[in-house]
């Protein structure tokens, strides 16, 4: 037998976690954003449960600030595999008076997203949310469990986490609690891309180099020109060949200048990169503990 | 490329964080933006240059108190191998984190300060590594720069350690003199310690033989879920399975032949641990989640009375008569604590027999009686099927890691 590669081992672990999720919980949902991690999650879910149907729907918390390409990709993927997609909109949370938009030129809906997410957990009676979060992304996420318990408020308490020994997952819940499940915990950005390459997965066009009008902030960050961003003094708009390393909202996902179109080129570019992927996220650049603080509020 | 999972442990001041920072830095696993925030953090604390120790502290409280509270996972790779590092807090109060890191590791790196040699904490860490059957142990003798890189100082610690390590069951031990602060023997061989002939830490991590660390002999497939008629999914805990194999389903004992096998939807003739598989059986037999598929002539013990080492993390003392939920692979049952055989004094590693209770962060040997029979191997034979956890029935929290004797 040939030696197992790290991708074989990581795939086996993620498939195991997804199947445990199906066994432990009555109403799980797989959070789907249209980014590379969530499309990997979809591929892994198919590999865990086909030829049967998936034991959970996909759930997209739509901030209203998505790239149109992300939504197209989402709909195309869901149609191709014939599974259920639920969409809940941050705009509706705002319209219902349960959240308020940030003000100012670089306002984002990152915080508001958490309110919609937790409302949806209550509305649908969800007891597990599966996400594509990875420990290598960010230093607070490096402390996450694979089965990560959320109390009634939905917040993460990093100091009260139960230990996880071996790969023995404990999914026992009390009323009002739900679980966050992270099958990609031990994957890195590079693993995700290598897996996309190995499995020949379809990816949104945003990840490939393309011509785009971008706004260059005073800090030198490139953001896609969009109706959600006002150009401030000292900022310029220019058309460049760019691609996105992470795909979140148009307001917070920075573009990078690139000519990488094929997955192999993207992999080479990431191998040589001297910045981390979250370094290109405005939402994480707000403070040293930005991610920890948002997770404590219930963010993914 | 294969994957090595390893854990690091050390005293608060042994330079563990600095070592990890150095390893990540020299493997180019610290990107510029993280380096920049390290630089800011170092400056804010009035330190000169770059203090690599801040690279691992992820939580606000950890940075504020300058300690590691929780296990942090770090990821890096070289041309040869992918690494997952579980950075464990060294102090006793955080034993649960140490056990978390060790439970999935195949190698442990333990740090000592060359000026202090083996301290109690080092002995405890080595003991834990041996209890958890970590196949490979590396002792890094750190701060060699503070003893002018003298061979004699290193040899003294190495000899102490070798005398001690005869008492613990770890077969592959490597001792390396390093300076985490300056980088000597971490990634590059040290020019200041020409007397040392062995590999640098990273070279050793890249080369240590790990392919035979997982049990490839005893086929154990804990059943997770059904994927359709006669089709059962699970992750091979150990051993391998082939199309055409006759398997037995425990605890029921029904037999069937493997008619089809898939790994992530790919049809295969053979699969081995730790792959996740789906097995199609040739006939209708009763199989449920929690059952275990094994070979007819190679079976685990089917038993309700369990003799185990327990690492206890419950909020209150563990006493005889207590009932808990027991999770073993995919099976669940209730279990009652029988006799408490002994408690290990973690300061001296001496045994206290017939203790009245085990206190939080205690390790001891106990007897348990389970409601349902369990498919158990001895931990020393099989780390996957020889381990289980206990869950508090009121709080639902995992409160113990257990190893089958």
pLDDT at residue A287, rounded to an integer: 64
Structural domain boundaries, residue A61? 6-194+289-296
Look at A23 and B330 and tell me if their CB atoms are within 8 Å. yes
Q: Which of residues 213-252 of B touch A (CB under 8 A)?
A: 224-225, 227-228, 233-235, 240
Same domain for B306 and B261, yes or no, is no
Same domain for A144 and A223, yes or no, is no
Same domain for A125 and A226, yes or no, is no
Does some domain include residue A256? yes
Same domain for A167 and A61, yes or no, is yes
Look at B58 and A275 and tell me if their CB atoms are within 8 Å. no
User: How many Å apart are CA B13 and CA A94, to the nearest integer?
Assistant: 50
Structural domain boundaries, residue B7? 2-207
Does some domain include residue B18? yes
Same domain for A127 and A169, yes or no, is yes
Which of B295, B327, B357 is a domain's end point? B295
User: How many Å apart are CA B23 and CA B310, to the nearest integer?
Assistant: 33
Per-residue pLDDT for A271 more than 80? yes
How many A/B residue pairs have CB atoms within 8 Å?
163
pLDDT, chain A, mean: 89
* pTM recorded for the entire structure: 0.94
Does some domain include residue B131? yes
Same domain for A130 and A255, yes or no, is no
Same domain for B270 and B174, yes or no, is no
Nearest-CA distance from B357 to chain A in Å?
Answer: 22
Nearest to B58 among A4, A6, A143 (CB): A143
B93 touches chain A (CB under 8 A): no
Does some domain include residue B213? no
Residues in chain B with CB shorter than 8 Å from the CB of A52 are 227-228
pLDDT at residue B354, rounded to an integer: 95
Same domain for A249 and A273, yes or no, is yes
Same domain for B166 and B38, yes or no, is yes
Q: What is the CATH number for A31? A: 3.40.50.620
Does some domain include residue B254? yes
Does some domain include residue B121? yes
Look at B264 and A15 and tell me if their CB atoms are within 8 Å. yes
Nearest-CA distance from A136 to chain B in Å?
Answer: 6
Same domain for B168 and B306, yes or no, is no
Highest mean pLDDT among A221-230, A253-262, B51-60: A253-262
Q: Which of residues 247-286 of B touch A (CB under 8 A)?
A: 263-265, 270, 272, 274-276
Same domain for A112 and A18, yes or no, is yes
| pLDDT-based confidence at residue A1 (cuts at 50, 70, 90) | low
pLDDT at residue B152, rounded to an integer: 97
Does some domain include residue A93? yes
Can you state the angle between helices A68-81 and A36-49, rounded to 10 degrees? 10
Which of B295, B324, B340 is a domain's end point? B295
Same domain for A265 and A124, yes or no, is no
pLDDT at residue B63, rounded to an integer: 64
User: How many Å apart are CA A45 and CA B276, to the nearest integer?
Assistant: 13
SS3 letters for chain B? CEEEEEEEECCCCCCHHHHHHHHHHHCCCCCHHHHHHHHHHHHHCCCCCCCHHHHCCCCHHHHHHCCCCCCEEEEEECCCEEEEEEECCCCHHHHHHHHHHHHCCCEEEEEEECCCCCCHHHHHHHHHHHHCCCCEEEEEEECHHHHCCCHHHHHHHHHHHHHHHCCCCCCEEEEEECECCCCECCCECCCCCCCCCCCCHHHHHHHCCCCCCCCCCCCEEEEEEEEECCEEEEECCECEEECCCEEEEECCCEEEEEEEEEECCEECCEEECCCEEEEEECCCCCCCCCCEEEECCECCEEEEEEEEEEEECCCCCECCCCEEEEEECCEEEEEEEEEEEEEECCCCCCEEECCCCECCCEEEEEEEEEEEEEEECCCCCCCCCCEEEEECCCCCCEEEEEEEC
pLDDT at residue A280, rounded to an integer: 65
Flag the least confident range among A1-5, A228-232, A263-267, B3-7.
A1-5
Q: What is the CATH number for B41? A: 3.40.50.300
User: How many Å apart are CA B285 and CA B254, to the nearest integer?
Assistant: 6
List the single best residue of B70, B99, B290 to mutate versus A (max A Cβ within 10 A): B70
Does some domain include residue B212? no
pLDDT at residue B385, rounded to an integer: 97
Which of B232, B261, B295 is a domain's end point? B295
Same domain for B64 and B40, yes or no, is yes
Distances (CA, A) of B254 to B258, B285, B301: 13, 6, 16
What mean pLDDT is predicted for residues A210-232?
89
B152 touches chain A (CB under 8 A): no
Domain count for chain A: 2
Nearest to A292 among B59, B240, B289 (CB): B59
Q: What is the pLDDT of residues B15-48, one digit of tens each?
A: 888 898 889 888 888 877 777 877 787 777 777 6
Does some domain include residue A199? no
Positions of chain B with pLDDT lower than 70, given as ranges: 12, 48-50, 52-69, 90, 92-93
Distance of CA B309 to the CA centre of its chain: 15
Helix (H, G, I), strand (E, B) or coil at A22: helix
Q: What is the CATH number for B285? A: 2.40.30.10
pLDDT at residue B379, rounded to an integer: 96
Same domain for A30 and A158, yes or no, is yes
pLDDT at residue B124, rounded to an integer: 87
Does some domain include residue A189? yes
Does some domain include residue B169? yes
Does some domain include residue B214? no
Q: What is the pLDDT of residues A154-195, one digit of tens each?
A: 788 877 788 899 999 999 999 889 999 999 999 999 999 999
Same domain for B202 and B349, yes or no, is no
Residues in chain B with CB shorter than 8 Å from the CB of A49 are 227
Domain count for chain B: 3
Same domain for A214 and A190, yes or no, is no
Same domain for B270 and B386, yes or no, is no
Same domain for B187 and B89, yes or no, is yes
Does some domain include residue A56? yes
Look at B2 and A168 and tell me if their CB atoms are within 8 Å. no
């Amino acid at each position: 037998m040939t030696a197992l590669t790290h991708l074989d081992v990581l795939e086996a672990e993620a498939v195991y976690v997804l199947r445990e999720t199906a066994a432990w919980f009555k109403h799980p949902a797989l959070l789907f954003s249209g980014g590379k991690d969530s499309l990997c999650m979809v591929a892994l879910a198919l590999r865990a449960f086909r030829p049967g149907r998936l034991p959970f729907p996909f759930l997209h918390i739509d901030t209203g600030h998505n790239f149109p390409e992300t939504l197209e990709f989402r709909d195309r993927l869901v149609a191709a595999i014939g599974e259920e997609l639920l969409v809940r909109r941050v705009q509706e949370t705002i319209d219902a008076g349960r959240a308020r938009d940030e003000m100012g030129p670089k306002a984002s809906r990152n915080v508001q997203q958490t309110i919609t997410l937790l409302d949806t957990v209550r509305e649908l009676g969800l007891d597990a949310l599966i996400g594509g979060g990875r420990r290598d992304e960010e230093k607070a996420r490096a402390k996450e469990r694979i089965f990560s318990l959320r109390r009634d408020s939905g917040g993460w308490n990093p100091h009260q986490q139960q230990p996880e020994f071996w790969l023995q997952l404990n999914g026992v819940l009390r009323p009002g609690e739900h679980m966050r499940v992270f099958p990609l915990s031990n994957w890195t950005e590079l693993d995700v891309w290598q897996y996309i390459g190995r499995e020949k997965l379809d990816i949104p066009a945003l990840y490939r180099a393309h011509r785009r009008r971008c706004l260059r902030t005073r800090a030198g960050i490139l953001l896609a020109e969009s109706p959600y961003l006002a150009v401030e003094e000292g900022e310029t708009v220019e058309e460049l060949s760019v691609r996105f390393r992470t795909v979140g909202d148009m307001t917070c996902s920075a573009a990078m200048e690139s000519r990488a179109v094929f997955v192999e080129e993207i992999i080479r570019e990431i191998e040589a990169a001297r910045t981390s992927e979250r370094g290109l996220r405005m939402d994480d650049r707000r403070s040293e503990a930005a991610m920890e603080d948002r997770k404590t509020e219930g963010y993914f | 490329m294969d994957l090595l999972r390893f854990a690091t442990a050390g005293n608060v001041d042994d330079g563990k964080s600095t070592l990890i920072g150095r390893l990540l830095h020299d493997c180019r696993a610290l990107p510029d933006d993280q380096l920049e925030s390290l630089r800011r953090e170092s400056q804010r604390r009035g330190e000169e240059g770059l203090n690599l120790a801040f690279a691992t502290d992820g939580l606000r409280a950890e940075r504020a108190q300058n300690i590691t509270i929780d296990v942090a996972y770090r990821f890096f790779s070289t041309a040869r191998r992918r690494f997952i590092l579980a950075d464990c807090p060294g102090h006793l109060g955080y034993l649960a984190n140490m056990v978390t890191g060790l439970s999935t590791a195949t190698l442990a790196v333990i740090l000592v300060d060359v000026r202090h040699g083996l301290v109690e904490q080092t002995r405890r860490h080595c003991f834990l590594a041996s209890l958890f059957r970590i196949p490979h142990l590396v002792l890094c003798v750190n701060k060699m720069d503070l003893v002018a890189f003298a061979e004699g100082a290193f040899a003294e610690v190495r000899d102490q350690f070798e005398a001690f390590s005869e008492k613990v069951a770890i077969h592959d031990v490597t001792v390396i003199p390093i300076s985490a602060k300056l980088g000597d023997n971490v990634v590059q061989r040290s020019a200041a310690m020409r007397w040392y002939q062995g590999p640098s830490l990273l070279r050793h991590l890249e080369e240590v033989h790990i392919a035979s660390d997982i049990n490839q002999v005893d086929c154990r497939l804990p059943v997770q879920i059904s994927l359709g008629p006669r089709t059962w999914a699970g992750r091979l805990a150990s051993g391998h399975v082939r199309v055409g194999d006759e398997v037995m389903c425990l605890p029921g004992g029904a037999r069937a032949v493997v008619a089809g096998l898939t790994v992530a939807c790919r049809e295969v003739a053979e699969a081995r641990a730790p792959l996740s598989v789906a097995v199609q059986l040739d006939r209708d037999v009763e199989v449920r989640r929690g059952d275990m598929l094994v070979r007819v002539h190679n079976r685990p013990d089917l038993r309700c009375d369990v003799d185990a080492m327990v690492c206890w993390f419950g909020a209150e003392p563990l006493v005889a008569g207590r009932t808990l939920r027991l999770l073993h692979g995919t099976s669940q049952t209730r279990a009652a604590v029988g006799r408490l055989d002994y408690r290990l004094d973690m300061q001296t590693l001496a045994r206290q027999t017939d203790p009245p209770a085990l206190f939080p962060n205690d390790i001891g040997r106990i007897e348990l009686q389970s409601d349902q029979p369990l498919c158990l191997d001895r931990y020393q034979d099989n780390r996957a099927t020889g381990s289980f956890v206990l869950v508090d029935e009121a709080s639902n929290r995992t409160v113990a890691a257990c190893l089958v004797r």
